[in-house]
Amino acid sequence: MKLRQKVIFLAITPLILALIAIALAVRHQSVLLAQQQRDTIQQAYLSSKEAELRHYVALASHSIAHLYESGRDDEATRNEAKRILSSLSYGDDGYFFVYDMQGNTLMHPRQPELVGRNLYEMRDEQGQPTIQKLLQRARAGGGLERYMWVKPSTHKSGAKLGYVIPMPKWGWMMGTGIYLDDVDRALAQVDVQQSGNIHNTMLWIAAIAIAAAVAVGSSGLALNISELRVADAKLKVLAQRVVESQEEERARLSRDLHDGISQWLVSIKLQIEAGIIRLTSGQAGQQQAAQAAFEHAADQLNNVMGEVRRISHNLRPAILDDLGLAAALHHLGQEYTLSSGTPVHFEAEGCTDELPDVANTVLFRLAQEALTNIERHAGASRIEIGLTGERGGVTLRIRDDGAGFDAEGIALHPKRGIGLRNMMERMDAIGGRFDIASSGDGTVVTAFAGNEYS
């Protein structure tokens, strides 16, 4: 995976994970809220049904109160009470029922086939003893009881909420009930709506996640394309600078070879030829003249050898490989003092021998470039070079007391400051740090190179 793909992946992955976490949290809270809302609605429905049942039972009690409170306990009075209760129906599925305390059916207007039968041992489809539970509730003073019973309008078993009261004078249990299928339908509809809302919320979060991922990916792609173009442009500029630097170095070497070594070699050649002619002429006194010519040629050969060493040292100083960076910088300062007349004070502190060869070369070239710039532009009267070994690297500091310059402006100028940019790029290439501070009191160049380079 390429770097830009990794960057896009690392940008999108936390976003997707965050949205997934948000979606899970929203879903959990939505389910919890839906359950609470369902419980609230169910409780409200049941409360209204319970109040309705109490009113129905109170109405039925008042309807037969004149018979029950009359003190008569004959069969005619009880039959009249059962007749009145059987007539108190409310809808197809709303009716009153009467049982004795042994579980015998005394009155059931919707299921007359049950009258006279003992249902004490009857159990519903869930195995619950329906009549026993109702009788137990009645013996406890009456109240609400949920059970399963066949609905008259559909002839199917359904959940029913009953309310029973005891009638101890006659040994009865009288009650009524409301089927809860409408409550179940309302709650099922609430569940469907809440599930749909949760599903829609998840779809919205998924759409937002996809849109955000696409936006981040598109932005990253656009940024990569833009950065790639900038990098290509910088690479082209850098390649042009490399070509220009190579051409400048070749031109300098050509001038050195042509103006120095080539002319000296021609002169030496002429001196040797003149000496040979004098030796072979056989004339008196020509031997001394030939000796003088050869001696002069030997002196010029020494000059040529010195020039070759100078050029070789500028290309790659052997002392840097043999004795290390500190010795190479000290020698560089001495040569600069001899050539320019400006004193260079060098000081090394700490261990500076642990740098990689590449870092040593970069710091040496940086010092060469700095001294070249000082000679050309600063007009300094004193130069200080400090090399300090630190934990993890080496710091090179070059200070002069010459005329300062606008370092930032020069660095940004398209046609000036090539040497300064070269120093910055050399340090960037090895992962080092470069800083330059310049004022009217002089200029300080600071570079740090680490002991580890990859």
> What gap in Å lies between CA 181 and CA 290, rounded to an integer?
136
pLDDT number for residue 326: 85
Are the beta carbons of 451 and 350 closer than 8 angstroms? no
Low-confidence ranges of the chain (pLDDT < 50): 454
At a CB cut-off of 8 Å and minimum separation 6, what does 430 contact? 358, 359, 362, 449, 450, 453
CA-CA-CA-CA torsion sign (220, 226, 229, 230): negative
Contact present, 300 and 264 (Cβ < 8 Å):
yes
Distance between CA atoms of 176 and 186, rounded to whole angstroms? Answer: 22
Q: What is the pLDDT of residues 197-254, one digit of tens each?
A: 888 888 888 888 888 878 877 777 777 777 778 878 877 877 777 666 666 767 666 6
- Per-residue model confidence (pLDDT) at position 454: 47
User: CA-CA distances (angstroms) from residue 204 to 146, 201, 207, 208, 259?
Assistant: 42, 5, 5, 6, 80
* Per-residue pLDDT, 167: 92
| pLDDT for position 391 | 79
Q: Is 200 exposed, middle or buried (0-12, 13-18, 19+ CB in 10 A)?
A: exposed
- What token pair was written down for 450? 């680490």
Please write the tens of the pLDDT for every residue from 396-431: 899 888 877 776 666 555 555 666 777 888 788 788
Q: In the prediction, which pLDDT does 176 show?
A: 93
pLDDT at 84: 92
Q: What is the DSSP letter of 112?
A: G
Q: What is the pLDDT of residue 422?
A: 77
Q: What is the pLDDT of residues 256-282, one digit of tens each?
A: 666 667 777 777 777 787 778 777 776
